[in-house]
């Protein structure tokens, strides 16, 4: 059966980098946001990315879709 999942490409933020310990700097499109601790009203716009405040602290907040690592970090500049 053919995969019919839409492939939506989001432009990478110019103010943030996602760093995977195995793959190095990766595209925002290769990152899954894992945090489910907040409500939509709690989201904050930082560096062109809507995130919940919990994601600003280290933890398993992001997953690399290339290798499956949950140690992806976000670096704002």
Calculate mean pLDDT across residues 31-43: 83
pLDDT in tens, 47-59: 888 888 877 777 7
Query: Phi/psi of residue 41, each to 5°?
Result: -65, -20
Which pTM value belongs to this model?
Answer: 0.74
- Beta-strand ranges (E) seen in the chain are 16-20, 24-26, 31-33, 44-46, 49-51, 62-64, 73-76
Taking only the tens place, the pLDDT of each residue in 1-14 is 566 555 666 777 78
Q: Measuring CA to CA, how many Å separate 9 from each of 22, 24, 57?
A: 22, 20, 26
If we measure between CA atoms, which residue out of 46, 45, 43, 74 comes closest to residue 60? Answer: 74
> Residue 3 has which token pair?
């995969």
Query: What pLDDT score does 36 carry?
Result: 74
């Amino acid at each position: 059966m053919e995969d019919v999942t839409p492939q939506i490409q989001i432009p990478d933020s110019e103010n943030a980098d996602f760093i995977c310990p195995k793959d190095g700097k990766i595209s925002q499109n290769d990152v899954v946001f894992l945090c489910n601790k907040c409500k939509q009203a709690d989201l904050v716009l930082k560096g062109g990315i809507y995130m919940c405040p919990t994601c600003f602290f280290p933890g398993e907040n992001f997953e690399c879709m290339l290798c499956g690592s949950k140690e992806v970090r976000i670096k704002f500049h």
